[in-house]
Amino acid sequence: MTQLLKDKVALVTGGASGIGYETARSFLREGARVMIGDINLEQGRKVAEELSSLGDIAFVENNVTAEASCQNAVEHTVKRFGRLDIAVNNAGVIGETKPLLELSAEGWQRTMNININGVFFGLKAQVNQMLATGGSIINLASIASKIATPSCADYITSKHAVDGLTKAAALDYATMGIRINSVGPGVIETPLLGTIGQTKDAQGSIKHAIGMHPMGRVGKVGEVANLITWLASDQASFCTGGYYPINGGYLAQ
Ligand SMILES: NC(=O)c1ccc[n+]([C@@H]2O[C@H](COP(=O)([O-])OP(=O)(O)OC[C@H]3O[C@@H](n4cnc5c(N)ncnc54)[C@H](O)[C@@H]3O)[C@@H](O)[C@H]2O)c1
């Protein structure tokens, strides 16, 4: 069977865990060479080693909150694999999961730095590299890009911003062979869920969100990775500026 991403080179930020990890795995299976970036060096190296049986994969230290680090991740990918065709801006955190009045300025800033500034810095470095060759970029949005849940104002705001930034950037480069889309998962079983605060508000918020999926279950990382893989591929050649929901029917209500 033809591989969807044969001979393509991809960079996945936050690739050491959850959706990023599974996306790297899917990309390898579909014939891509993959660079994963993360701030978690130990886990990142372990994952690259673990997935190396599937294909050509390497790890680069990448803190998406620093523009120079995002630039370095792209340069490192090109140095190692010769080009960059696909980028997935996946690194993200859930934030403090507290009601508005209890959110700290530092916590707010951290969520924005990782979830939205990180996508901005990633896009700048990736688009600049892709100007000569074209490419496909996928940003991790969320159901939280379209609706709100209680005790998540920083996360909700950052993910609404990812949706807006994706559309704006897609328009700027639509005629230059660079497609930029976002995917919007519902609740997906990943380690991120374990970082949600243990307060009554935080637990109530996640319980509320989980209960809202009409399919009666949360999603699996493989289901999200499949959608990202399709958007990354040439099969999605007329798709840009889109928000692609994957949420078991959550937003249909
Ligand atoms: N899990 C869900 O239910 C869900 C739902 C919708 C959207 N998302 C989004 O999907 C993305 C991945 O989430 P996940 O559930 O796989 O999370 P995860 O916690 O399993 O993985 C996130 C990865 O990002 C890395 N990371 C954190 N800060 C970083 C930084 N500054 N620079 C580089 N890497 C950093 C972490 O080390 C980790 O490896 C996030 O953007 C998240 O908001 C997740």
Residue 68's domain is classified under what CATH number? 3.40.50.720
In a domain, 70, yes or no: yes
Count the domains in the chain: 1
Inside any domain, residue 1: no
Q: 196: CA distance to ligand 1 center in Å?
A: 12
155 carries an active-site annotation: yes
pLDDT score for 209: 85
Q: Which of 190, 224, 243 to mutate to test the pocket of ligand 1 (most atoms within 8 A of CB)?
A: 190
In a domain, 193, yes or no: no
* Catalytic residue (one of 21, 155, 173, 250): 155
Please tell me if the CB atom of residue 140 comes closer than 6 angstroms to any atom of ligand 1.
yes
239 within domain boundaries: yes
Q: What is the pLDDT of residue 204?
A: 83
Q: Specify if 171 maps to a domain.
A: yes
Would you say the CB of residue 135 lies under 6 angstroms from ligand 1?
no
The tokens describing 190, both together, are 């990943």
Domain limits at 94? 9-188+221-246
What is the structure's pLDDT at 208? 85
> Tell me, what's the pLDDT at 246?
98
pLDDT in tens, the chain (253 residues): 799 999 999 999 999 999 999 999 999 999 999 999 999 999 999 999 999 999 999 999 999 999 999 999 999 999 999 999 999 999 999 999 999 999 999 999 999 999 999 999 999 999 999 999 999 999 999 999 999 999 999 999 999 999 999 999 999 999 999 999 999 999 999 998 888 888 888 888 888 888 999 999 999 999 999 999 999 999 999 999 999 999 999 999 9
Take atom 23 of ligand 1 and give the residue whose Cα is closest: 14
242-245's contacts with Cβ under 8 Å and 24+ in sequence apart are 242/170, 242/181, 242/182, 243/141, 243/145, 243/146, 243/163, 243/166, 243/167, 243/181, 243/182, 243/183, 243/184, 244/181, 244/182, 244/183, 244/184, 245/143, 245/146, 245/183, 245/184
CA of 170 to the centre of ligand 1 (A): 22
User: Is 90's C-beta closer than 6 angstroms to any atom of ligand 1?
Assistant: yes
| Residue 199 domain-assigned (yes or no) | no
Contact present, 86 and 8 (Cβ < 8 Å): yes
Give a yes or no: residue 117 inside a domain.
yes
**CB under 8 Å, gap of 24 or more: what pairs does 100-105 form?**
100/153, 103/153, 103/154
Residue 151 in any domain: the answer is: yes
